[in-house]
Structure 1
Amino acid sequence: MKLFISTLFLLCNVTLFAQSNQFTGDYIRSLSEEGKHTIEYKLTLNQDGTFLFHSYSKIQNGTPPEVNKYGKGKWSVKDNLISFSANKQEDFDDKYTLDFNKSTARFITKSPRDKSDKVVKTKLQFLESGISWVQRIDLFKI
């Protein structure tokens, strides 16, 4: 009986790990006008349930001309919706200032049932966030 329960527990953990593995990785978005403006976003979802976010902007004649913003915290998934959270004591300091609490993104990929030649890039689309400029950003998986 103990062997059966142990095997069942192991199979459940492997299944959970395999599901979250499809979400982990780097997601980026780069917007630029050659020689003038550059805006880059990078989000890394780690297998341990943590994330790192980096926003870089270089605006011609901007004040300041270059800006780096960082955020980190934890993520969880339910029904292809990824929820982000940050702990005020652990995830915020002089470098990591972006608050991703109340941020949600949808994981979008081509359905395995879709046998057409249609190309669907795997991406995260932010649906809501306390950071106004993060809402509706699409970040593509690399």
Structure 2
Amino acid sequence: MKLILTVFLFIFNLTLSAQSNQFAGDYTRSLSAEGKHIIEYKLTLNQDGTFEFHYYTKLQGGSPPEVNKYGKGKWSVKDNMITFSANKKEDIDDKYTLDFNKSTARFVTKNPRDKSDKVVKTKLQFLESEIFWMKRIDIFKV
């Protein structure tokens, strides 16, 4: 009986780690206008359920001309929906100022049953966020 229970728990843990492998990784998006303006989003979802985010802008004539903003915290998945959270005491400080609480993103990839030649880039599409400029942003898996 112990052997059966051990095997069951082992298979269950493999399934959980395989699902998080699908989502974990680096995501990025870069928008630019021929050397005038640059906006970059970089998000890393780690295997251990933590994330780091970096937002960079360089706007010609902007005040300030360059901005770096950072965020970090934890992420979890349920049905291709990723929920982000940040502990205000541990994850938010002088460097990491972005609060990702109440942020959700949809994981979008090509359906495995779709046998067409259509190319669908794997991405995260932010649906909700208290960071106003994060709503409806798509960032693509590298």
What TM bracket, shorter-length normalisation?
A: over 0.9
Other-structure match for 1:96: 96
In 2: Cα distance, 1:117 partner to 1:31 partner: 27
Q: Which secondary structure does the structure 2 equivalent of 1:5 belong to?
A: helix
What letter is aligned with 1:10? F
Q: CA deviation at 1:39?
A: 0.2
What letter is aligned with 1:126? F
In 2: Cα distance, 1:24 partner to 1:66 partner: 29
What letter is aligned with 1:50? T
Q: Which secondary structure does the structure 2 equivalent of 1:97 belong to?
A: strand
Aligned positions of 1:1-142 closer than 5 A:
1-142=1-142
What letter is aligned with 2:69? K
RMSD: 0.4
Q: CA deviation at 1:34?
A: 1.1
What letter is aligned with 1:94? D
Cα deviation, 1:56-105, whole Å, max 9, x if unaligned, reads 00000111000000000000000000000000111011000000000000
In 2: Cα distance, 1:19 partner to 1:112 partner: 15
In 2: Cα distance, 1:72 partner to 1:126 partner: 16
What letter is aligned with 1:45? L
Q: CA deviation at 1:35?
A: 1.6
Q: Which secondary structure does the structure 1 equivalent of 2:121 belong to?
A: coil
Unpaired runs of at least 5, structure 1: none
Q: TM-score by structure 2 length?
A: 0.99
Q: Which secondary structure does the structure 2 equivalent of 1:69 belong to?
A: strand
Unpaired runs of at least 5, structure 2: none
In 2: Cα distance, 1:108 partner to 1:35 partner: 30
Give the ranges of 4+ consecutive aligned residues of structure 1 lying more than 4 Å apart after TM superposition. none
What letter is aligned with 2:11? L
In 1: Cα distance, 2:35 partner to 2:8 partner: 58
What letter is aligned with 1:3? L
